[in-house]
Amino acid sequence: MTSELDIFVGNTTLIDEDVYRLWLDGYSVNDAVALRVRSGILEQTGATAAVLQSDTMDHYRTFHMLERLLHAPPKLLHQLIFQIPPSRQALLIERYYAFDEAFVREVLGKKLSKGTKKDLDDISTKTGITLKSCRRQFDNFKRVFKVVEEMRGSLVDNIQQHFLLSDRLARDYAAIVFFANNRFETGKKKLQYLSFGDFAFCAELMIQNWTLGAVDSQVDDMDVDLDKEFLQDLKELKVLVADKDLLDLHKSLVCTALRGKLGVFSEMEANFKVCGPIQPVPLGHLQPPVHCPTGNSCCRLTSRWRCCSLCRPVPGNQALKLRSYLIEGGGWI
C-alpha cells in the first residue's frame, strides 16, 4: 500500500500576499486556486495545477495557525515558532485588521453583540462581501472594543499599543469604538450619503473636544465616554427645531459667521436644514475667532458658557452651541 504525502520544509515562513488577500476575503481553497489560475500564475511559473493546489493549501494552513496570534498582535512579535521578518509581521497585522468601508458603514454605531452578528448574512448579501470576511471584520471590531473600552488615556494610543496598528488604521478603529460605545444612529436615511471617513472625522473632533478628558481637565483622560452634562446641553438644542424664530436666528448667526469664508457658502445656505449631498467642508476652517466680538474670552468648543459669533447665550442661562458641523438627526441631540 502506498500513499502520497506533500511535505514543505523551510526556515523563514513564506507569505504570499496574493494568497493572504484571498484568505482574508473569505475564499475557500478551491475558489482561491481557481482565481490564481485565472491570474495566469501557471503560465508565469510553469507549475502544474496539482502543485498550485498544494501550495495554496499550505499557505491556508499557515494562515490558520497564525490567526490565533493575530488576535493578540504583540504575541506574534514575541513568538518563536514562525520565523517572519518584522516588515512581514506588520503587513500581516495591518491587513488582518483592515476592513471594507461598505461593511463598516452597515454596522457603525450598532452594538457589537450577538444580535448584530446574526445580521451578517444580510449584510454580506447587500455588500457583496463574503460572510467569512464579514465575520472576521466584525470580530476584529468587537475584540478591539472589549480591550480598550475601559482604558484610561488616549484611545488611539491604546489601540496602537495593544494591536500594533498604523496611526491611520488606529484612528479608524478609535472612531468605530467611539460610535459603538455611544450608540450613534448612523443608519438613518438622511445620513446615508455620508461615508465612513466623514463619520471618522467627526468622531475625532468629538473625542478631542467633547469626551470626559477633553471637557474636564481635572479627570483622567477618557476618550470613550461623552460628558453627560454636555449631552444634556446638546439636547436643549432641540428648541431650535421647535421654535421657528430661534431656527431663523440660528441660521442667521451661522451664515453671518461663515459668509466669505467658504467656497460653497451658497450651497450651504440653501441646504441649511436639509441634510443632503453638498460639498464637504473642512472643519478645521470653522474654528471660533480668537477674540469674541462681545468682549468675552475666546470660546472653545468645550467652553459651553462663553459666547462668540458662533455661540450666543439665551434666556434661562442656557447656551446654544451654534456650530455648523452638528449633524441633524444623528441621534444625540
Per-residue pLDDT tens digits for 26-40: 999 999 999 999 999
Would you state the pLDDT for residue 185? 85
For the beta carbon of residue 278, count every other beta carbon within 10 angstroms.
Answer: 14
Decide if 70 is inside a domain: yes
Question: What does the pLDDT average to over 181-185?
Answer: 85
Of 196 and 251, more confident: 196
Pairwise CA distance, residues 315 & 204, whole Å: 32
214, 246, 270 - which closes a domain: 214
Angle in degrees, 0-180, between the axes of helices 17-24 and 29-38, rounded to the nearest 10: 130
Pairwise CA distance, residues 12 & 82, whole Å: 7
Q: What element of type H or E holds 189?
A: none
Decide if 280 is inside a domain: no
Decide if 122 is inside a domain: yes
Between the CA of residue 301 and those of 51, 60, 218, 249, 261, what are the distances in Å? Answer: 62, 50, 17, 20, 19
Q: Report how many domains make up the chain.
A: 3
Decide if 291 is inside a domain: no
Q: Does residue 299 surpass a pLDDT of 70?
A: no
Cell triple for 48: 502544474
Mean pLDDT lowest among 104-113, 138-147, 207-216, 217-226:
217-226
49, 84, 119 - which closes a domain: 84
Mark whether 122 and 62 lie in a shared domain.
Answer: no
Of 210 and 120, more confident: 120
For the beta carbon of residue 6, count every other beta carbon within 10 angstroms.
Answer: 11
Mark whether 139 and 188 lie in a shared domain.
Answer: yes
Mark whether 138 and 198 lie in a shared domain.
Answer: yes
Torsion of CA 156, 162, 165, 169, to 10 degrees: -40
Mark whether 120 and 74 lie in a shared domain.
Answer: no
Per residue in 75-122, pLDDT tens? 999 998 899 999 999 999 999 999 999 999 999 988 898 888 889 999
Which pTM does this prediction carry? 0.71
240: left (phi over 0), alpha (psi -120 to 50) or beta: alpha
Pairwise CA distance, residues 290 & 285, whole Å: 13
Let me know how long the chain is: 333
Q: Tell me the residue range of the domain where 203 lies.
A: 101-214
Decide if 169 is inside a domain: yes
Decide if 231 is inside a domain: yes
Determine the straight-line distance between the first and last CA of the chain, rounded to whole angstroms.
75
Please report which confidence band the pLDDT of residue 223 belongs to, taking 50, 70 and 90 as the band edges.
low
Between the CA of residue 244 and those of 241, 317, 322, 333, what are the distances in Å? Answer: 7, 20, 15, 17
Q: Which of 209, 216, 212, 185 is nearest to 283 (CA)?
A: 209
Decide if 307 is inside a domain: no
Per residue in 11-60, pLDDT tens? 788 899 999 999 999 999 999 999 999 999 999 989 899 999 999 999 99
Mark whether 109 and 200 lie in a shared domain.
Answer: yes
Which segments of the chain are extended strands (E)? 311-314, 318-321
Pairwise CA distance, residues 299 & 306, whole Å: 6
Specify whether the CB–CB gap between 292 and 306 falls below 8 A: yes
Angle in degrees, CA 187, 190, 195, rounded to 5: 60
Specify whether the CB–CB gap between 16 and 64 falls below 8 A: no
Mark whether 107 and 158 lie in a shared domain.
Answer: yes
The SS3 call for residue 139 is helix
Decide if 185 is inside a domain: yes
Q: Which of 179, 178, 184, 182 is nearest to 331 (CA)?
A: 184
Specify whether the CB–CB gap between 117 and 79 falls below 8 A: no
Q: Does residue 8 surpass a pLDDT of 60?
A: yes
Per residue in 256-278, pLDDT tens? 888 877 777 777 777 765 533 33
**CB-based contacts of 111, cutoff 8 Å, min separation 6:** 180, 183
Mark whether 80 and 105 lie in a shared domain.
Answer: no
Q: Does residue 244 surpass a pLDDT of 80?
A: no
User: What are the φ/ψ torsions at residue 68 (nearest 5 degrees)?
Assistant: -65, -30
